[in-house]
Amino acid sequence: MSPSLHKEVARFRHWAVTRDPSHALHFPPEWECDYPHWQDLYAAVAAALESPVTESSKEELLFALARDNEDEVILDLLV
């Protein structure tokens, strides 16, 4: 498992459950767009893809890919 990817997915999950929707710039279904650390998550995904992907990393990659459904940066990294 990529420690960086694990850390960044955990940071996103924490943000998602603690964010204040009243300060949202985007409204459902695009609430993920408000995440302030996308660049860090993208970098962690790119780094994780440089090595063989483990089963736990696959789950984290799929989670990140699903959250990045608007910008599709992670999809581009996978392609």
Name the maximum alpha-carbon separation found in the chain. 41
Other C-beta atoms within 10 Å of 26: how many? 12
Q: What is the pTM of this model?
A: 0.88
Question: Tokens 């599709």 correspond to what residue?
Answer: 72
d(CA 61, CA 4): 12
Tens-digit pLDDT profile for residues 63-72: 999 999 889 9
- CA-wise closest residue to 54 among 13, 11, 3, 2: 2
Tens-digit pLDDT profile for residues 18-68: 998 887 777 777 889 999 999 999 999 999 999 999 998 999 999 999 999
Q: Which residues are CB-neighbours of 19 under 8 A, at least 6 positions away?
A: 31, 34
